[in-house]
A and B are shown apart, each in its own frame.
Chain A
Amino acid sequence: MIKKFMEYALNKPKVIISLVAVFVVLSLTQFVRIKVDTDPENMLPSSSSARVFNDEMKKEFALYDILVIGVVNKTDSNGVFNVKTLTDIYHITDDIKKLDGVIASEIISPSTKDNIEQGDIGSVRFNWLMPEPPKTNEEALHVRDEAQDNPMFHGTLVSEDGKALALYIPIKRKDLSYEISQKIKTIVKKYPSDDKYYFTGLPIANDQFGVEMFKQMAISAPLAGLVIFLLMWFFFKSVSLIVAPMLIAMATVLITMGLLIAFGFPVHIMSSMIPIFLMPIAVLDSVHILSEFFDKYHVYHDRKKTLVFVLDELFSPMLFTSLTSAVGFFSLSFSPIPPVQVFGVFVAVGVLIAWALTILFIPAYIMLMNPKRFEGFGLSGKEEKSVFLDKILGVIRIITTKYFKPVLVITVILVGISIYGISKIQVNDNPVRWFEKKHPIRVADKILNEHFAGTYEAYLVLDAKDKEDEVFIEPKMLHYVENLQNKLLETGLVGKTTSLADIVKKIYYELLGGDKVNNVIPKSKPAVAQCLISFENSHKPDDLWHLTTPDYSKLNIWVQLKSGDNKDMDKVVKYVKKYIKDNPPPKELTYNWAGLTYINVVWQNNMVGGMLKNFLGSFVIVLFMMLFLFRSPIKALISMIPLTVTILFIYSLLGFFGKDYDMPVAVLSALTLGLSIDFAIHFIQRTVEVHREKGTWEETSKEMFAGPGRAIIRNALVVAIGFLPLLAAPLVPYKTVGFFMFTIMAVSSLATLFILPAIVSLKPSWMFEENNKALSCKCSYCMLIALFVAVAVAYVLFGYTTAGWKPITFISIGIVVMFAGICHMASKRKICLMEEK
């Protein structure tokens, strides 16, 4: 059936090309519906318990997503606490209140917050911290002193050194943060001064990321296209010929992205990388066809006959390399992280689209070309031949065949060292570090965390079992909370904590006349209650309900971390767990964490566990496919060795160089398997074929390190260099991916060329023992296959149970059916039927 399609492509090239054009146009029409999603919360499914709890707590304690604006003045000796700066801040706050999307009543600024202080004639005063712009420097310093003295403001609103201020602007929706921050920047410009305004906070970082993401797609993807074009031109020196693979790459990218958008998936940081992954992969198969066509044209001198021969020859390796690549990506669909699932499935779809386009579009394109262009093909050896490359290949051949023992010993030692390195890997991520060091967001983040207690927020929510007795205004519970807070500060990771205990203490000593001796928790429950009701006579009594619930059965400890590193948050979480276990609270309670900094930890943990499963899963599936392809367990196992060594080696580098194992790195581990097995497939298949002709390994190796060796290096170069343009991206995760893909492709091609020949040299019979019996005749083989099938089925079923049944699941099942169809069609080919006879 496939054959019929291909014949159709040869006979009716115009139809095929117009069909492809129609698909591309259809896909393009989908682009208007594009949605962008940069919210790291979406790394977890919306149904995940951590997210549900976070949403509940946000509602229960009226917590919002917050933009942080730090104000720093370096010229005045009192920093921002001078008349001019505070007057500006007063007016800027007023202007911000009027912006759409800002929750005006919850803004934290000196002019919007109430303070409790000592008034005249022994009175206590509830007043706005800065009711009006200060008229004198003394008034400005009074604002500072009062803010420093209030646990709600010290280290939050006013910096620890008393020189800087931070405004906290709560917003209705996270995706408004970029727009609102731009508007605030315009407001700030209306008040020219020496003051510097720094914008930070996770919402800004995320939204900014979306903006930069489009820049990345606009720069890196076309750049990758250009690089691939230049590489191919270098290989084939015929522009009209290499236009075809370029068109395929573009069509593949456009159709895949169109499909993604059409299915209603937003473009996430992961899916924005789809074009750059697809481009080099899409070109690979065409490179094979063109190479062969190039070589064989002079034999037939007829486009159609040459194509029929070439396509039949390449059908099986092309199918298998595409399938293994697709499987590598597809395994990501079992990851517990939705954006990663989407990425995996759609790259897999893209790989198959590229495969289909290659076997249909390339023949059609060649049929439409002017026949005169083919004259002299292959004869003059127009194809680029590098003396340099051949010399290197020769050296490798000698090393691997003559000194195979040292090569293998070194390999084993390398594996050992790599495993040690991997054990030192540090799992960590930090969305702010997704930006480069010089990016304004990173600069603001650094400066604000120098001045303030910490701009990364997490919430520790204590929930008393007893809902009736207003547990959290009991002095013994407040003492417990106070101790826990002190212990958190001792970890050095936490800059500041704020809880009901701090408020109660502040009100208590102000009521008693302002003497810090009384900065303690009152002795009885009514005393605490009466302090709180006094506080409720202020302008902002609702501020209390950020820290507790009106029935006092829940308490929210606001934890400010100095760093947004997931590993630091993780340490704090573990510390609290141990502390509460070792020091049971006076009244029974449960506790849980909320806040974006914590959410990041949750998905990170999912990611590490999930990716290890994906890696093992795709390993099993690829191994199974190799069994099927080579019909020999030993060959299948050997084929997996080079890439396993490569991946171990590269990930050990993370451990040795202290680079964090973050999201992009985790994702890459599973999918590189499917890509780098290609080299081994080609090497083993060709080796076996050449051996049939030549008879000895000695001769075979000479042949192998000529043509096929060159082909492997060439393919490796296309893929590896194709990913390099990612290094030009302004965002760190893209750079990481670019660097990693380049290294993995380069190293695994070399590993294939070193390790496989060395193994063959060790025991050629592993590779060349012909196996004529039917599969079922070999007991061990049969059992091995049965085992892998069982493991693969279990893995897939397990994947669905953890990932859940979502639209993406059904799409992926559709793909499985598609695979089955392809397999069925492939098995009906003439060649297969002949072999069976």
Chain B
Amino acid sequence: MKKIFLLLVILGFCANFVFAQNVDEIINKANLVSYYAGKDGKSKVKMIITDSQGRKRNREFKILRFNVKDGGEQKFYVYFEKPTDVARMTYMVWKNLGKDDDRWMYLPALDLVRRIAASDKRSSFVGSHFVYEDVSGRGVDTDIHELLGEEDGFYKIKNTPKDDQGIEFSTYAVWIDKNNFMPMKAEYYNKAGDLIRTIEALEVKDIDGHPTVFKSQATDFERGGQTVMEFSDVQYDIGLDDNIFTERYLRKPPMQWIQ
């Protein structure tokens, strides 16, 4: 009897272990699919920020991305086109794992390049309802993942930050498409258990064999308001040079890639 009980415990433990393996595998795949498609990539973005009163603001910019290591470090370059007053502004982000990102910006009207010390990745991305982490991806090791189940062709995964210092949510749930591992929806909850924000992929198309988000939306349920990002002119493996992701190119944008 005792032996049977012990066996059951061991079996249970193993099952859990296998399950946990699965969760991390799913998360890793999803991370690669959503943020690391190709060796590099570029895209044009139109951003429509709508506040709780329905007031809209538009921004247009180009994004260049370069993978230093698949699933690891990445570099981003953002070139602003609209509104006119901020045209030619550039941002650069070196995404690091396990430590803070490096960020720079160039303000043409002040002719000023400044390094930005980002103490966390949860600050707003240029005033929108997306945060930096939504754009560049949240490190897979920063959360504890838990597979809640499978529903309607999605894996539903609960994620709890290992360290909640400076983070406005307490958990979030992600729905990942079982077919192509694209995360389609994320729901963020606060300590009281209220839904405070969602991120959704509204439109996914296939480009060169990579499932690609063409329209996504971030909604703020606390203050109200949402931001829609529309992607166009998406290209992968265009042969970007690591060199252009340096301070020098902030002032002098690599026009061949952003036009």
A interface with B by C-beta (< 8 Å)? 59-60, 62, 97-98, 104-106, 114, 119-128, 131-132, 470, 473, 511-512, 522, 524-531, 533-534, 536-542, 544-545, 549-551
Number of A-B contacts (CB under 8 A): 114
Tell whether, in the assembled complex, residue B116 and residue A124 are in contact, meaning their CB atoms are under 8 Å apart: yes
CB distance from B117 to the nearest CB of A (A): 3
Q: Indicate which residue in B110, B122, B123, B191 contacts A530 across the interface (CB closer than 8 Å).
A: B110
Q: Contacts A98-B191, A132-B165, A545-B51: A529 and B109 contacting too (C-beta < 8 A)?
A: yes
Tell whether, in the assembled complex, residue B51 and residue A522 are in contact, meaning their CB atoms are under 8 Å apart: no
Tell whether, in the assembled complex, residue B86 and residue A126 are in contact, meaning their CB atoms are under 8 Å apart: no
The list of the 9 closest CB pairs from A to B, nearest first, reads: A536-B127, A119-B117, A529-B85, A526-B109, A123-B115, A527-B109, A125-B117, A123-B117, A541-B127
A-facing residues in B82-141 (Cβ within 8 Å): 83-86, 89, 105, 107-110, 112, 114-120, 122-127
List 21 interface pairs A-B (beta carbons < 8 Å), by A numbering.
Answer: A62-B52, A104-B222, A105-B223, A119-B117, A123-B114, A124-B115, A124-B117, A125-B119, A131-B165, A470-B85, A524-B109, A527-B107, A529-B86, A529-B109, A530-B85, A533-B127, A536-B126, A537-B123, A537-B126, A539-B168, A542-B51
Q: Contacts A124-B115, A511-B107, A537-B125: A550 and B166 contacting too (C-beta < 8 A)?
A: no
CB distance from A132 to the nearest CB of B (A): 6
Q: Indicate which residue in A121, A527, A538 contacts B123 across the interface (CB closer than 8 Å).
A: A538
B55 located at the interface, meaning its Cβ lies under 8 Å from any Cβ of chain A in the complex: yes
Task: Give the chain B neighbours of A540 by CB distance below 8 A.
Answer: 124
The chain A residue sitting closest to B85, CB to CB, is A529
Tell whether, in the assembled complex, residue B122 and residue A539 are in contact, meaning their CB atoms are under 8 Å apart: yes
Provide the bound-state CA to CA distance between A551 and B86, in Å: 14
Q: Indicate which residue in B55, B57, B116 contacts A537 across the interface (CB closer than 8 Å).
A: B116
Tell whether, in the assembled complex, residue B112 and residue A511 are in contact, meaning their CB atoms are under 8 Å apart: yes
Provide the bound-state CA to CA distance between A122 and B102, in Å: 13
Provide the bound-state CA to CA distance between A122 and B113, in Å: 11
Task: Give the chain B neighbours of A530 by CB distance below 8 A.
Answer: 85-86, 89, 107-110
Interface of A (DSSP majority class): mixed
Q: Given A537-B125, A539-B168, list of 10 further CB < 8 A pairs?
A: A62-B223, A119-B116, A120-B117, A123-B115, A123-B116, A125-B118, A522-B110, A529-B83, A533-B126, A551-B55
Provide the bound-state CA to CA distance between A132 and B119, in Å: 12
The chain B residue sitting closest to A525, CB to CB, is B85
Q: Contacts A120-B117, A526-B85, A541-B127: A534 and B105 contacting too (C-beta < 8 A)?
A: yes
CB distance from B58 to the nearest CB of A (A): 10
Tell whether, in the assembled complex, residue B119 and residue A131 are in contact, meaning their CB atoms are under 8 Å apart: yes
Tell whether, in the assembled complex, residue A526 and residue B116 are in contact, meaning their CB atoms are under 8 Å apart: no
In this complex, the member of A121, A127, A525 whose beta carbon has the largest number of chain B beta carbons within 10 angstroms is A127
Tell whether, in the assembled complex, residue B55 and residue A549 are in contact, meaning their CB atoms are under 8 Å apart: yes
Task: Give the chain B neighbours of A120 by CB distance below 8 A.
Answer: 117
Tell whether, in the assembled complex, residue B55 and residue A131 are in contact, meaning their CB atoms are under 8 Å apart: no
Tell whether, in the assembled complex, residue A533 and residue B86 are in contact, meaning their CB atoms are under 8 Å apart: yes
Task: Give the chain A neighbours of B107 by CB distance below 8 A.
Answer: 511, 527, 530-531, 534
Tell whether, in the assembled complex, residue B124 and residue A537 are in contact, meaning their CB atoms are under 8 Å apart: yes
Task: Give the chain A neighbours of B190 by CB distance below 8 A.
Answer: 104
CB distance from A299 to the nearest CB of B (A): 80
The chain A residue sitting closest to B83, CB to CB, is A529
A-facing residues in B42-85 (Cβ within 8 Å): 51-53, 55-57, 83-85
Provide the bound-state CA to CA distance between A97 and B222, in Å: 12
Provide the bound-state CA to CA distance between A106 and B190, in Å: 15
Tell whether, in the assembled complex, residue A60 and residue B89 are in contact, meaning their CB atoms are under 8 Å apart: no
In this complex, the member of B84, B110, B126, B190 whose beta carbon has the largest number of chain A beta carbons within 10 angstroms is B110
B18 located at the interface, meaning its Cβ lies under 8 Å from any Cβ of chain A in the complex: no
B255 located at the interface, meaning its Cβ lies under 8 Å from any Cβ of chain A in the complex: no
CB distance from A743 to the nearest CB of B (A): 53
The chain A residue sitting closest to B106, CB to CB, is A530
Q: Contacts A132-B165, A533-B127: A126 and B112 contacting too (C-beta < 8 A)?
A: no
A-facing residues in B141-161 (Cβ within 8 Å): none
Provide the bound-state CA to CA distance between A98 and B107, in Å: 40
B interface with A by C-beta (< 8 Å)? 51-53, 55-57, 83-86, 89, 105, 107-110, 112, 114-120, 122-127, 165-166, 168, 190-192, 222-223
Task: Give the chain A neighbours of B166 by CB distance below 8 A.
Answer: 128, 131-132
Task: Give the chain B neighbours of A59 by CB distance below 8 A.
Answer: 53
Task: Give the chain B neighbours of A122 by CB distance below 8 A.
Answer: 114-115
The chain B residue sitting closest to A98, CB to CB, is B192
Provide the bound-state CA to CA distance between A150 and B51, in Å: 26
Tell whether, in the assembled complex, residue A527 and residue B110 are in contact, meaning their CB atoms are under 8 Å apart: yes
Task: Give the chain A neighbours of B83 by CB distance below 8 A.
Answer: 529
Provide the bound-state CA to CA distance between A538 and B108, in Å: 20
Q: Contacts A537-B123, A538-B124, A539-B124: A526 and B86 contacting too (C-beta < 8 A)?
A: yes
Q: Indicate which residue in A124, A528, A538 contacts B114 across the interface (CB closer than 8 Å).
A: A124
The chain B residue sitting closest to A132, CB to CB, is B165
Tell whether, in the assembled complex, residue A522 and residue B109 are in contact, meaning their CB atoms are under 8 Å apart: yes
Task: Give the chain A neighbours of B165 by CB distance below 8 A.
Answer: 131-132
The chain A residue sitting closest to B221, CB to CB, is A105
Provide the bound-state CA to CA distance between A796 and B160, in Å: 70
Task: Give the chain A neighbours of B51 by CB distance below 8 A.
Answer: 542, 545, 550
Provide the bound-state CA to CA distance between A105 and B190, in Å: 11
Provide the bound-state CA to CA distance between A511 and B112, in Å: 8
Q: Contacts A124-B114, A125-B119: A537 and B85 contacting too (C-beta < 8 A)?
A: no
Task: Give the chain B neighbours of A524 by CB distance below 8 A.
Answer: 109
Provide the bound-state CA to CA distance between A470 and B120, in Å: 32
Tell whether, in the assembled complex, residue A127 and residue B115 are in contact, meaning their CB atoms are under 8 Å apart: no
Provide the bound-state CA to CA distance between A783 and B126, in Å: 78
Task: Give the chain B neighbours of A542 by CB distance below 8 A.
Answer: 51, 223
Provide the bound-state CA to CA distance between A391 and B165, in Å: 85
CB distance from A114 to the nearest CB of B (A): 8
Provide the bound-state CA to CA distance between A539 and B190, in Å: 16
CB distance from B125 to the nearest CB of A (A): 7
CB distance from A466 to the nearest CB of B (A): 16
CB distance from A557 to the nearest CB of B (A): 20
The chain A residue sitting closest to B117, CB to CB, is A119
CB distance from B137 to the nearest CB of A (A): 18
The chain B residue sitting closest to A117, CB to CB, is B117
CB distance from A509 to the nearest CB of B (A): 11
Task: Give the chain B neighbours of A527 by CB distance below 8 A.
Answer: 107, 109-110
Provide the bound-state CA to CA distance between A62 and B225, in Å: 13
Provide the bound-state CA to CA distance between A97 and B168, in Å: 11
Provide the bound-state CA to CA distance between A106 and B224, in Å: 12
The chain A residue sitting closest to B225, CB to CB, is A542
Provide the bound-state CA to CA distance between A550 and B57, in Å: 7
Task: Give the chain B neighbours of A62 by CB distance below 8 A.
Answer: 52, 223
Q: Contacts A536-B126, A551-B55: A125 and B116 contacting too (C-beta < 8 A)?
A: yes
Q: Indicate which residue in A526, A528, A531 contacts B108 across the interface (CB closer than 8 Å).
A: A526
The chain B residue sitting closest to A100, CB to CB, is B192
The chain A residue sitting closest to B50, CB to CB, is A550
Task: Give the chain B neighbours of A533 by CB distance below 8 A.
Answer: 86, 89, 126-127
The chain A residue sitting closest to B166, CB to CB, is A131
CB distance from A369 to the nearest CB of B (A): 67
Task: Give the chain B neighbours of A123 by CB distance below 8 A.
Answer: 114-117
Task: Give the chain A neighbours of B127 by CB distance below 8 A.
Answer: 533, 536-537, 541, 544
Task: Give the chain B neighbours of A544 by CB distance below 8 A.
Answer: 127
Provide the bound-state CA to CA distance between A540 and B223, in Å: 11
Q: Contacts A124-B114, A511-B107: A60 and B123 contacting too (C-beta < 8 A)?
A: no
Provide the bound-state CA to CA distance between A97 and B55, in Å: 27
Provide the bound-state CA to CA distance between A119 and B102, in Å: 12
Provide the bound-state CA to CA distance between A540 and B119, in Å: 14
Q: Indicate which residue in B55, B112, B119 contacts A550 across the interface (CB closer than 8 Å).
A: B55
Tell whether, in the assembled complex, residue A60 and residue B53 are in contact, meaning their CB atoms are under 8 Å apart: yes
Task: Give the chain A neighbours of B85 by CB distance below 8 A.
Answer: 470, 473, 525-526, 528-530
Task: Give the chain B neighbours of A119 by CB distance below 8 A.
Answer: 115-117
CB distance from B110 to the nearest CB of A (A): 6
Tell whether, in the assembled complex, residue B124 and residue A541 are in contact, meaning their CB atoms are under 8 Å apart: yes
In this complex, the member of B115, B124, B222 whose beta carbon has the largest number of chain A beta carbons within 10 angstroms is B124
Provide the bound-state CA to CA distance between A114 and B119, in Å: 11
The chain A residue sitting closest to B112, CB to CB, is A511
